[in-house]
Amino acid sequence: MLRKLLQPCRKKGSDIYHHIPQLSNSNYHLFSSTLRQLFSPPFQTPCSVFQSGLVCMTLEKKNMAGRILLLLLCMNAVSFIVNAVPQTCPADLGGKCAEDDDWEGEFFPGIPKIKYEGTSSKNPLAYKWYNAEEEILGKKMKDWLRFSVAFWHTFRGTGADPFGAPTKYWPWEDGTNSIAMAKRRMRANFEFINKLGVDRWCFHDRDIAPDGKTLEEANANLDEVVALAKELQGDKIRPLWGTAQLFMHPRYMHGGATSSEVGVYAYAAAQVKKAMEVTHYLGGENYVFWGGREGYQSLLNTDMERELDHLARFLEAAVAYKKKIGFNGTLLIEPKPQEPTKHQYDWDAATTANFLRKYGLLGEFKLNIECNHATLSGHSCHHDLETARINGLLGNIDANTGDPQIGWDTDQFMTDIGEATMVMLSVIRNGGLAPGGFNFDAKLRRESTDVEDLFIAHISGMDTLARGLRNAAKLIEDGSLVELVRKRYSSFDTEIGAEIEAGKADFEMLEKLAKEWGEPKVASAKQELAEMIFQSAL
């Protein structure tokens, strides 16, 4: 009897996942909390739910035992429906949940406005190196660094990874992907930003507002949340950049601008159009294109030339639209070599610069260099920053770092003072980043689950870069590293060297000189001395 009851259930039980809509970033919470509910008592298995709903209708033999079981199962089903909709407050948080966006009191009670206390401070909730108003090389620290909080990591990061469920349940989250929840989250975002004392934030359209069944619905959702963000920003806070999320939804599985489907190209264009509009409306200073799935998994089924042409057309249309709506922000392309695709077209700074050059887009775009992406492409962050800088393309930095033993995008907060010092050398040589800045495209480790950790991570990342700034300034003021490099190339400071650099030396002339001079003297590169000078500044 029981076997018979469970038979159809086992078959149907696997259907459970078909009831879950597209798993986007925004409905991830709903998905995971629904699963939690299904697997927790009184629903030990997803099976029992279907059992309840389906078996009670299909049972053929109505003996007494069957009827009792049937009754129990049907009660089970009713109670599931009552309990499951709407999904509220996940487990044991003691947090306050509401169906509207109200939230009593502070989101981060007990966390004060973060202040600079200097290097002797042991307070984890204070800056030891970042002193916003202090001048370094004639510019305030806050103007060199122009820090920004990334909404997706800080407010949508759950700690989930391909092997495990979410680990972070912030008290203000109620497990829904409602507009009310999006608004409450936005309020938390601005309290966080204000307490941290930064002036900027970055977002994807789909992080901040729920997607919709249609583009119109998604746009309306976005408008509603953006209106609140505009109010909460006040006079001081602005987006460092906004962007469209063109990689989570299954429609983008072949890419957005490089999809083989013209309908997807159009949908992506419409999404970027709207994301540019809201970034402009919020006073955003830049707009980012990260080619989430603009790449390929196999060249055998890919027309790379056509896809790259499409990408260029897409970006040209973005430039035209930016001008049409009077958006003066910089358009930024963010290189990344792999992940999620096997090969991303914007591999690194050099590849992206060549793409822009080929399609005549050099004057219209700059680059957003992300340190962990640079290391994934086999470079140091410093290398990609310098490549961007010497091509006049350094526009923004996604401040994070990878793990030296891990070959993927771990998006960690930067803590290496040496790396930060090299990063800041590039930034100083660039004359700063404005209107770009440093966006913390970085997340807490999966195992860091306290609300306080969100602050500690940002404070540590900000202090690391502030310390890098101080060190880089020390190196520049000291001058010996600059002098070492200058001396190394001083043979080109001669009359002949100047002619070569001016493009006036042809091969015949150089051959004559080579014969005249004989075997050239070759000086030491002084690498260890350069490293010694660098280390002395840390």
Q: In this structure, are residues 233 and 282 in contact, taking their beta carbons and an 8 Å threshold?
A: yes
441 binds ligand XUL (CB under 6 A): yes
294 binds ligand XUL (CB under 6 A): no
**Distance in Å, CB of 395 to Co ion, minimum:** 13
463 binds ligand XUL (CB under 6 A): no
Contact range with Co ion by CB under 5 A, out of 141-149, 429-437, 441-449, 498-506: 441-449
Instruction: Report how far residue 536's alpha carbon sits from residue 367's, in angstroms, rounded to the nearest whole number.
Output: 31
Q: In this structure, are residues 69 and 41 in contact, taking their beta carbons and an 8 Å threshold?
A: no
- Restricted to residues 296-335, the positions that interact with ligand XUL (CB under 6 A) are 334
- Restricted to residues 92-131, the positions that interact with ligand XUL (CB under 6 A) are none
> Which amino acid makes up residue 221?
N
207 binds ligand XUL (CB under 6 A): no
Instruction: Report how far residue 492's alpha carbon sits from residue 299's, in angstroms, rounded to the nearest whole number.
Output: 45
From 336, 382, 383, 467, residue interacting with ligand XUL (rule: CB under 6 A): 336
The residue annotated as part of the active site, out of 19, 29, 153, 204, is: 204
Q: DSSP readout, 265-316?
A: HHHHHHHHHHHHHHHHHTT-SEEEEE-TT-EES-STT--HHHHHHHHHHHHH
- Restricted to residues 176-195, the positions that interact with ligand XUL (CB under 6 A) are none
Q: In this structure, are residues 157 and 444 in contact, taking their beta carbons and an 8 Å threshold?
A: yes
Closer residue to ligand XUL in complex, CB, 307/441: 441
**Distance in Å, CB of 181 to ligand XUL, minimum:** 21
Phi, psi angle pair for 147, to nearest 5°: -70, 150
DSSP 8-class letter at 533: H
398 binds ligand XUL (CB under 6 A): yes
Closer residue to ligand XUL in complex, CB, 80/247: 247
Closer residue to ligand XUL in complex, CB, 150/427: 150
Q: Reduced to 3 states, what is the DSSP secondary structure of residue 128? A: coil
384 binds Co ion (CB under 5 A): no
Residue 204 designated active-site: yes
What letters, b where the CB count within 10 A reaches 16 and e where it falls short, cover 83-112?
eeeebebbeeeeeebeeebebeeebbeebe
Instruction: Count the alpha carbons within 13 Å of 532 in the hemisphere toward its beta carbon.
Output: 6
How many residues form the binding site for ligand XUL (CB under 6 A)?
10
409 binds ligand XUL (CB under 6 A): yes
398 binds Co ion (CB under 5 A): yes
384 binds ligand XUL (CB under 6 A): no
Residue 336 site contact among Co ion, ligand XUL, none (CB < 5 to 8 Å, cut-off depends on kind): ligand XUL
Residues in the chain: 538
441 binds Co ion (CB under 5 A): yes
Instruction: Report how far residue 228's alpha carbon sits from residue 519's, in angstroms, rounded to the nearest whole number.
Output: 72
The enclosing H or E element of 242 equals strand 238-243
Q: In this structure, are residues 44 and 73 in contact, taking their beta carbons and an 8 Å threshold?
A: no
290 binds ligand XUL (CB under 6 A): yes
Closer residue to ligand XUL in complex, CB, 387/396: 396
**Distance in Å, CB of 352 to Co ion, minimum:** 14
Distance separating the N- and C-terminal Cα atoms of the chain:
75
Q: In this structure, are residues 428 and 465 in contact, taking their beta carbons and an 8 Å threshold?
A: no
Q: Dihedral sign, CA of 80, 83, 85, 89?
A: negative
411 binds Co ion (CB under 5 A): no
> Cα–Cα–Cα angle for 516, 519, 523, nearest 5°?
120
Instruction: Report how far residue 307's alpha carbon sits from residue 250's, in angstroms, rounded to the nearest whole number.
Output: 19
205 binds ligand XUL (CB under 6 A): no
Instruction: Report how far residue 260's alpha carbon sits from residue 307's, in angstroms, rounded to the nearest whole number.
Output: 8
How many residues form the binding site for Co ion (CB under 5 A)?
3
Closer residue to ligand XUL in complex, CB, 269/417: 269
**Distance in Å, CB of 441 to ligand XUL, minimum:** 5
379 binds ligand XUL (CB under 6 A): no
Residue 353 site contact among Co ion, ligand XUL, none (CB < 5 to 8 Å, cut-off depends on kind): none
**Neighbour count for residue 220 (Cβ, 10 Å):** 13
- Restricted to residues 501-530, the positions that interact with Co ion (CB under 5 A) are none
Footprint on this chain of ligand XUL (rule: CB under 6 A): 204, 243, 288, 290, 334, 336, 370, 398, 409, 441
Footprint on this chain of Co ion (rule: CB under 5 A): 370, 398, 441
Catalytic positions are 204
